[in-house]
Structure 1
Amino acid sequence: MMPPETHHASCVALGDSAVLILGAAGRGKSTLALQLMALGGVLVADDRVRLWADGDRLLAASPPAIAGLIEARGAGILKAACQPRAEVALVVDLDQTEDQRLPDRDQIRLCGCDIPLIKRIDGPHFPAIIVQILKAGWSDR
């Protein structure tokens, strides 16, 4: 097994599945994580995420020093319930914006694992889309 990689990202779990949120500094990773937590998600990690492969599964965890902490711009560092690890089922790239109504599905390879990828979707429904993907996935239609 390869040693874990640390990525500048946030990660939130919903049940057994998690979303890994990527983006440059100030892009809104922690803000999106807080929105997902308000919809029932549980923080895995904020600011830095440890990632490693377990077979074809991508696992995520927080570095111990920041476990259970999330930055809320304008409010400071907040405490949060924290899930110790989760399987990443979806990656969100906040550096890119989706401009297609029905985009083709994309993937990203992390730690040798291919994970579904979506770009930022402008609109208040974006966190709900992520929750629904984690709960039920995509239609084959």
Structure 2
Amino acid sequence: MDAGFSLVADDRVVMRGVYASPPPQLAGLLEVRGVGILRTSFVTNARVILKVFLGEEGARLPMPERDPRTGVVVLRLNGAFPGDLNRIIAAFKACCGDYEWYAGAGGEGAGL
């Protein structure tokens, strides 16, 4: 959220096709480790364009991967490494069309 993204839900979402909404019991609640549970603004029916798995060791140049249910790009990152937030932002921008995928998670792998 500090990077400009909006909260849908903390920990889990309800998926309807490619749209995500918070479960009613979690709507607007955000756990900040070591601080507590805070209430904040949130969005519903957010169109999902990137699925990020944190806590996984992704390859330096990953093979293209799409979620089988939604078709969105899948990214696998540790989440604790320096620069991981920047990698997520770059992948999000590529999914939005700000960058063009050449190879990697959302690319076709051609040319390499």
Q: TM-score, normalised by structure 2?
A: 0.75
Deviation at 1:47, TM superposition (A): 2.1
User: CA offsets per residue over residues 35-84 of structure 1, 9 Å max, x none?
Assistant: xx11111101112210011xxxx110001222111111111101222112
Deviation at 1:107, TM superposition (A): 1.7
Equivalences, count? 98
5+ long unaligned stretches in structure 1? 1-36
In 2, the alpha carbon distance for the partners of 1:131 and 1:123 equals 14
Aligned to 1:130: 88
Deviation at 1:127, TM superposition (A): 1.2
5+ long unaligned stretches in structure 2? 104-112
More strand by proportion, 1 or 2?
Answer: 1
In 1, the alpha carbon distance for the partners of 2:54 and 2:91 equals 17
Is the partner of 2:74 in helix, strand or coil? strand
Q: Aligned in 2, Cα 1:101/1:48: closer, same or farther, shift over 3 Å?
A: closer
Deviation at 1:139, TM superposition (A): 2.6
Aligned to 2:21: 61
Q: Indicate which of 31, 47, 57 corresponds to 1:87.
A: 47
Tell which structure's C-alpha radius of gyration is larger.
Answer: 2
Q: Is 1:43 matched with 2:1?
A: no
Q: TM-score, normalised by structure 1?
A: 0.61
Q: Indicate which of 49, 62, 75 corresponds to 1:118.
A: 75
Deviation at 1:88, TM superposition (A): 0.8
* Deviation larger for 89-98 or 41-50: 89-98
In 1, the alpha carbon distance for the partners of 2:43 and 2:86 equals 20
Deviation at 1:85, TM superposition (A): 2.1
Give aligned-pair identity as a percent: 34
